[in-house]
Amino acid sequence: MKEACFENIKSKESSLPERTAEQISKLIVEQHLTCEDKLPSEFELAELLHVGRGTVREGVKLLVARNVLEIRRGKGTYIARNPGEIPDPLGFAYYPDQLRLALDLAEIRGQMEPWVARMAAEHATTEDIVRLRESCSVVEQDILNERDHSQNDVAFHVAIAKCTQNLVVPKLIPIITYAVKLFVSLTESRLRTETVIGHREIVEAISNGDGQRAEKVMAQHIEYNRALLQEIVEKMKRDGAQNESAGS
Amino acid sequence: MKEACFENIKSKESSLPERTAEQISKLIVEQHLTCEDKLPSEFELAELLHVGRGTVREGVKLLVARNVLEIRRGKGTYIARNPGEIPDPLGFAYYPDQLRLALDLAEIRGQMEPWVARMAAEHATTEDIVRLRESCSVVEQDILNERDHSQNDVAFHVAIAKCTQNLVVPKLIPIITYAVKLFVSLTESRLRTETVIGHREIVEAISNGDGQRAEKVMAQHIEYNRALLQEIVEKMKRDGAQNESAGS
């Protein structure tokens, strides 16, 4: 393995394990390593980066924590399947006002997802449509069996995003649908029928290649949800204010 | 500190440090801890979570790696300023085709940012406008002095996003502008004048509260960049194909 591209990493500002992690990450990028590839051994990395094996171990731990590397039991350390992609990448779980977060996300969804649906209708392959129909019926099964459908609902919207053939759109959907779980728990069963009908209309428009209709039915679907969420949040605030004045 | 909400964490699937990290993260959320707050001591956490201090230390390292916690030298371990927010949260650095990534991101920017500019014009406060003007002139200084303006360019688009008063929009901008650095290096000096003029038009429209015009000039700004990027990428592909056939 060539050494030339790796600077002496002991000279910079951040901690040694952090800089070692950066160098390993650079190596993954430059050598085009994928999830098929095993990371070079601790010994090799220590030689290559001119650091001790303990430092390599700490650097590897950092990259495992960030899902760049994964440890496969009994096999060793590999590059992760989607390196660097982590759940809740914007730290929404730590936002103090989850209701406001849900409303702000609904605003973004209302702007973005109708466009995504139109793009999906314009670019979906036959295989995409098959997967989309499957995903749609999984959500329906959840709803019919009165299970929490939030996870599969997100997967349905990701399946639509995959039809666009844009690499990034399917990665943005899990971020902007972060509040779906909260939303489903707040609305309880009130939206089940609307969800089934809305999803079916979207799937039909996309499989007919009708971009305009896909955009329209998606806009209706998201707006229906957004308006209901807003109503619930306003009611909660009014009730909260009443309780406060009753208590004072 | 109450113990009741913390389950016995030795019983689940993932590794013990990973589950400890989850419990600490739960504690941060439930106790509404912010960047002003110091994390309880290793000793306290070990008692509370019924694990050893070594395990607490490993769990804390995981959360430091994910920017949920930060170590302030000489002061101890604190909650991070934007807990859970990391640079490059979707792992774009590991995408093999950076040019395709840049084009796909440009497509998303072209759809999203004109809307962001309109919202900015409709909701900006006087303070927002002051910050936006400052940010605009920082980019101009970079360009006049022939410095790489990509980082401050992203900051300018974030400053616009902050005018929307939507919590999430400013967090999405650094993701969708990931390719700006690559773009600036590909276009070299060709876009400098257009960037200065485009940015000024956007700032004027937003500070006049003219949503329609803000949307329009932002759409032009992004589309100009996208079209130039596409032209460059297609030229690179043609040259690549020529080199290949010349080599065969």
What ipTM score was computed for the predicted complex, to two decimals?
A: 0.88
Position A239 scores a pLDDT of 85
Rounded CA-CA distance A221/A232 in Å is: 17
Please indicate if any CB of chain A lies within 8 Å of the CB of B81: no
How many other CB atoms are there within 10 angstroms of residue B179's CB atom?
Answer: 22
Place of tokens 């303990």: A54
Position B112 scores a pLDDT of 97
Position A3 scores a pLDDT of 39
Please indicate if any CB of chain A lies within 8 Å of the CB of B155: no
Q: What is the DSSP string of A147-171?
A: ---HHHHHHHHHHHHHTT--SSHHH
Q: How far off is chain A from B246, nearest CA to CA, in Å? A: 26
The model's pLDDT over A204-239, given as tens digits with 9 standing for 90+, comes to 999 999 999 999 999 999 999 999 899 988 988 888
Helices (H), B89-191: 98-123, 126-144, 150-162, 169-176, 180-187
A237-A238-A242 Cα angle (round to 5): 115
User: Under an 8 A CB cutoff, do A168 and B90 touch?
Assistant: yes
Bridge-partner residues for A85, per DSSP? B90
In the predicted model, what is the mean pLDDT of chain A?
90
Position A14 scores a pLDDT of 81
The model's pLDDT over A21-30, given as tens digits with 9 standing for 90+, comes to 999 999 999 9
- If 0-12 CB within 10 Å is exposed, 13-18 middle and 19+ buried, where does residue A36 land? exposed
Please indicate if any CB of chain B lies within 8 Å of the CB of A107: yes
Position B100 scores a pLDDT of 93
Mean pLDDT, range A186-202, rounded to an integer? 85
A169 neighbourhood in chain B, CB within 8 Å: 104, 108
User: Under an 8 A CB cutoff, do B29 and A94 touch?
Assistant: yes
Handedness of CA B23, B24, B28, B31 (dihedral sign): positive
CB A158 within 8 A of CB A173: yes
Closest-approach residue (CA) in chain A for B108: A169
User: Under an 8 A CB cutoff, do B84 and A91 touch?
Assistant: yes
Position A236 scores a pLDDT of 86
Q: How far off is chain A from B93, nearest CA to CA, in Å? A: 7
In the stretch 169-198 of chain A, residues with CB closer than 8 A to chain B read 169, 171-172, 175-176
B82 neighbourhood in chain A, CB within 8 Å: 91
Q: How confident is the model at residue A140 (pLDDT cuts 50, 70, 90)?
A: very high
Please determine, for residue A135, whether its predicted confidence score (pLDDT) is greater than 70. Answer: yes
Mean pLDDT, range A100-122, rounded to an integer? 97
Beta strands A76-79 and A69-72, pairing class: antiparallel
Q: How confident is the model at residue A187 (pLDDT cuts 50, 70, 90)?
A: confident
A13, A88, A108, best to mutate vs chain B, most B CBs in 10 Å:
A108
A109 neighbourhood in chain B, CB within 8 Å: none
User: Under an 8 A CB cutoff, do A101 and B168 touch?
Assistant: yes
Percent with pLDDT over 90 in chain A: 74
Please indicate if any CB of chain A lies within 8 Å of the CB of B49: no
Please indicate if any CB of chain B lies within 8 Å of the CB of A108: yes
Please determine, for residue A6, whether its predicted confidence score (pLDDT) is greater than 60. Answer: no
A32 neighbourhood in chain B, CB within 8 Å: 96
User: Under an 8 A CB cutoff, do A61 and B65 touch?
Assistant: yes
Rounded CA-CA distance A198/A217 in Å is: 7
Q: Which of A32, A65, A86 sits opposite B89 (nearest CB)?
A: A86
Q: How far off is chain A from B80, nearest CA to CA, in Å? A: 10
Please indicate if any CB of chain A lies within 8 Å of the CB of B84: yes
Closest-approach residue (CA) in chain B for A100: B167
Rounded CA-CA distance B119/A19 in Å is: 40
Q: How far off is chain A from B202, nearest CA to CA, in Å? A: 20
Q: pLDDT by residue for chain B (248 residues), tens digit each? A: 433 334 444 444 688 999 999 999 999 999 999 999 999 999 999 999 999 999 999 999 999 999 999 999 889 999 999 999 988 999 999 999 999 999 999 999 999 999 999 999 999 999 999 999 999 999 999 999 988 899 999 999 999 999 999 999 999 999 999 988 888 888 766 678 888 999 999 999 999 999 999 999 999 999 999 998 999 889 888 887 777 666 54
Taking alpha carbons only, the member of B208, B199, B197 closest to residue B126 is B208
Please indicate if any CB of chain B lies within 8 Å of the CB of A103: no
B90 neighbourhood in chain A, CB within 8 Å: 84-85, 89, 168, 171
Q: B150-162 vs B180-187: helix axis angle to the nearest 10?
A: 130
User: Under an 8 A CB cutoff, do A112 and B107 touch?
Assistant: no
Position B185 scores a pLDDT of 81
Bridge-partner residues for A78, per DSSP? A38, A70
User: Under an 8 A CB cutoff, do A172 and B91 touch?
Assistant: no
Position B240 scores a pLDDT of 79
User: Under an 8 A CB cutoff, do B104 and A65 touch?
Assistant: no
Please determine, for residue A151, whether its predicted confidence score (pLDDT) is greater than 60. Answer: yes
Please determine, for residue A185, whether its predicted confidence score (pLDDT) is greater than 60. Answer: yes
User: Under an 8 A CB cutoff, do B104 and A166 touch?
Assistant: yes
Position A189 scores a pLDDT of 63
Please determine, for residue A167, whether its predicted confidence score (pLDDT) is greater than 90. Answer: yes
